[in-house]
Structure 1
Amino acid sequence: MSAAAPERTTARAGDLLDVDRALGDEERLIAETVRRFVGEHVLPEIEGWYERGVFPRELVPELGRLGVLGMHLTGHGCAGASAVGYGVACRELEAADSGLRSFVSVQGSLAMFPIWRYGSEEQKRRWLPGMAAGELVGCFGLTEPDSGSDPASMRTSARRDGRDWVLNGRKMWITNGGLADVAVVWARTDDGVRGFLVPRGTPGFTTRDIHRKMSMRASVTSELVLDDVRLPEDAVLPGVVGMRGPLSCLDEARFGIVWGVVGAARTCFETALSYARTREQFGRPIAGFQLTQQKLVDMAVELNKAALLAHHLGQLKDAGALTPEQISFGKLNNVREALRIARTARTVLGANGISSEYPVMRHANNLESVLTYEGTNEVHTLVLGHALTGLRAFQ
């Protein structure tokens, strides 16, 4: 007779398939280190930050010392971690709050990455070490008031005036905008779309924070205003022309989302499971009722599938084989399922699910934004539709 299998504890229930067994020693250390940091520096305060609608600027140097800012890049003070290592860091950050992971994603994948990939050596030396250390903050200016899913229709322009560039336009829904020491702004030129480094304090460049948000409240979201902003010739990123530049940056950020939302979903699932095991109705814990168990099982299955998908895409990225369509696959599936898990977890908690005493509604609200940014659910569906059929549903 075989021995009975040991009872799985709540702490392990979020990883039924033992996906983390596939992590290397360094990746496991990254996950443990970031989770410990989040537990000490973020979880005790995140509810208050969210309610007040603030992101604490003083946290940024701490993130720099942690080594997560631009951690998947090499040189210039960056850690040079593997894609899977970066992924597990995003997972542990978003397990606390999507706003925290979003800050790290924008700093590393949308602001530092284009400088690292397309910038001159002088630009890299000027900006990257300070950004990796959390001494400087960056943002990514692509989305405009009238062009979200269609960034190629941007109106922001840059024209030559002697040896200088003069920029005019507006960028909207820019994470970190109000905090940023430098903005990577994408603008139309006579030669095509180019990226420009716009330091804070440049005459004509201002930011306006967006308030009254119901989602991503522990995150700074801003409008960038460029009115005859004059920049020197060396402000342009020399290594890329055209939409390939900003779209490659978005792929980097989407990869972090694929992993990050697994963390948010895990927190919601584990909160619901713990609650169901202790909350009694009709004289017994609600975890003992069939319909509640069905909810818990459905959440666990989708959570583990999402974790497997994230790990697989991380391995592909480390092998240099990850495609944009595969990133769209991951973003589409994992955000959609994380949001479903958050909504289902809320029903397990009943009325308590809407209380800030529990993190579920905060994660659900945040995931509504994650479903939309870095490519909407519909856009990623059509990207995959094109990959399957060879026919474009949009330009």
Structure 2
Amino acid sequence: MVDLLLTPEQQRYQELARKFTREKIIPVAGTYDRTGEFPWPIVEAVKEIGLNCMTAPKEYGGPELDSLTISVIVEEFAYGCAGVATTLGGNGLSSYPVLIAGNEEQKRLFFGTLVAGGLGGFALTEPGAGSDAGAVATVARRQGDEYVINGTKCFITTGAMADIFIVFASTNTALKHRGLSAFIVEREREGITIGHEEHKMGIRASNTVEMRFKDVRVPAGHLLGREGEGFKIAMQTLDMARPIVGAIAVGVARAALDECINYVKSRRDGGRPLASEQLVQFKLADMAMKVETARLMVRRALALKGAGLPYSKESAMAKAYAADVAMEVTAEAVAIMGALGYSKDSRVEKLMRDAKITQIYEGTNQIQRIVIANHLLRG
């Protein structure tokens, strides 16, 4: 069905992503979920359609897609597999700090790597610093024309595979979050090691690891912005990324709804089609309304962003609401499909496991509610 809220160009990208998902992601999503292997063939294939770095400006060889268009594409990828969508979205997340604070030389380095087919990583989270970015213990000490980075990061998406990273480290621990700074760090820098790999409940096609930095030296020119601007860069990055997580959640919820509809159409209960039961119809209607509302909230947040208007509150709302909807709709799909829904032979079992992470990463939904409340109370 044509989405009349999208421009013809956005519709073209939607169809491109939908075809890619149908042909390249859905047939192998179950296999990657079972094995936990990294989906290299899909990563290679997405380069062929020019969507491996959707945020990259045209002057560096990228498509420079607007955020709303990216959300449309990501929703389609997530319809096939949230783990694959998370992997393919990693270049966007890691590039936001460069778009926010990078100079010409830094953009050329970072986007040159990604447009050529490389992968980017975003290293903020630490064992003692999850929701509280001000508690980051990784430090960067200036030594002449270099910074020396020491510390440990965890839950880093695509960390074992990425070619270039945005690493957040404190340049002044006494200032807490005001001492946080952001750096571009190439993978080949001496002193970077990969630690524990996470074996996750869902999004198992994505790589998630611990990273250790031991006397890692980077040029002073790899500092994004100025010392102490890292927290602001991180918060602006998360504002940009949260509606995209919302789009992943919408894709997961939409897939669960479609699976459920197909099931009740074919299932008979007491000689009658399950789809004829009014209770089931009401549940499907509620699920569909939630999916549509979540998508509209994502698009509203990104429309505000595209217009250059404040959107931090709406970004948090879109992420939190869509993530909660994904969890509710996938759980309802499992319930309606009963024993089959709970079985690993059913797609909705995977969708329910995948949905949970959308309530956690890019800031938990509890943190989103704090952000929303703070905006409301400030008037």
Query: Do they fold alike, i.e. is TM over 0.5?
Result: yes
Distance in 2 (CA, whole Å) between partners of 1:287 and 1:271 is 13
* Residue in 1 that maps onto 2:372: 384
- Structure 1 stretches of 4+ with a deviation exceeding 4 A read none
Count residues in correspondence. 372
- In the alignment, is residue 273 of structure 1 matched against residue 261 of structure 2? yes
Equivalent of 2:212, from 213, 216, 225?
225
Letter in 1 for 2:202: S
* Distance change >3 Å, CA 230–CA 311, structure 1 → 2: closer
Gapped runs of 5+ residues in structure 1? 1-11, 13-17
* Distance change >3 Å, CA 276–CA 97, structure 1 → 2: same
Distance in 1 (CA, whole Å) between partners of 2:48 and 2:225 is 30
Moved more, 189-198 or 292-301: 189-198
Letter in 1 for 2:76: E
Q: Could you report, residue by residue, the CA deviation over 1:163-208 in whole angstroms, capped at 9, with x for unpaired residues?
A: 2211111111010101111121000003821111221232211112
Report SS of the residue matched to 1:187: strand
Displacement of 1:138:
0.9
Report SS of the residue matched to 2:44: helix
Displacement of 1:142:
0.3
- In the alignment, is residue 363 of structure 1 matched against residue 345 of structure 2? no
Displacement of 1:239:
5.8
Q: What does 1:20-59 correspond to in 2, within 5 Å?
A: 20-59=3-42
Letter in 2 for 1:53: G
Distance in 2 (CA, whole Å) between partners of 1:28 and 1:372 is 30
Report SS of the residue matched to 1:43: helix
Moved more, 217-226 or 162-171: 162-171
Displacement of 1:60:
2.0
Moved more, 359-368 or 202-211: 202-211
Letter in 2 for 1:235: H
CA root-mean-square deviation = 1.8
Distance in 1 (CA, whole Å) between partners of 2:373 and 2:28 is 42
Distance in 2 (CA, whole Å) between partners of 1:246 and 1:69 is 22
Q: Could you report, residue by residue, the CA deviation over 1:73-114 in whole angstroms, capped at 9, with x for unpaired residues?
A: 423122122322111001101111111221232211x21222
Q: What does 1:121-270 correspond to in 2, within 5 Å?
A: 121-133=104-116, 135-190=117-172, 192-238=179-225, 241-270=229-258
Moved more, 33-42 or 60-69: 60-69
Report SS of the residue matched to 1:54: coil
Distance in 2 (CA, whole Å) between partners of 1:67 and 1:358 is 32
* Distance change >3 Å, CA 348–CA 29, structure 1 → 2: same
- In the alignment, is residue 332 of structure 1 matched against residue 320 of structure 2? yes
What is the aligned-residue identity percentage? 31
Moved more, 363-372 or 69-78: 69-78
Gapped runs of 5+ residues in structure 2? 173-177
Displacement of 1:115:
2.2
Distance in 2 (CA, whole Å) between partners of 1:73 and 1:181 is 16
Distance in 1 (CA, whole Å) between partners of 2:313 and 2:214 is 37
Which one has the bigger helix percentage? 2
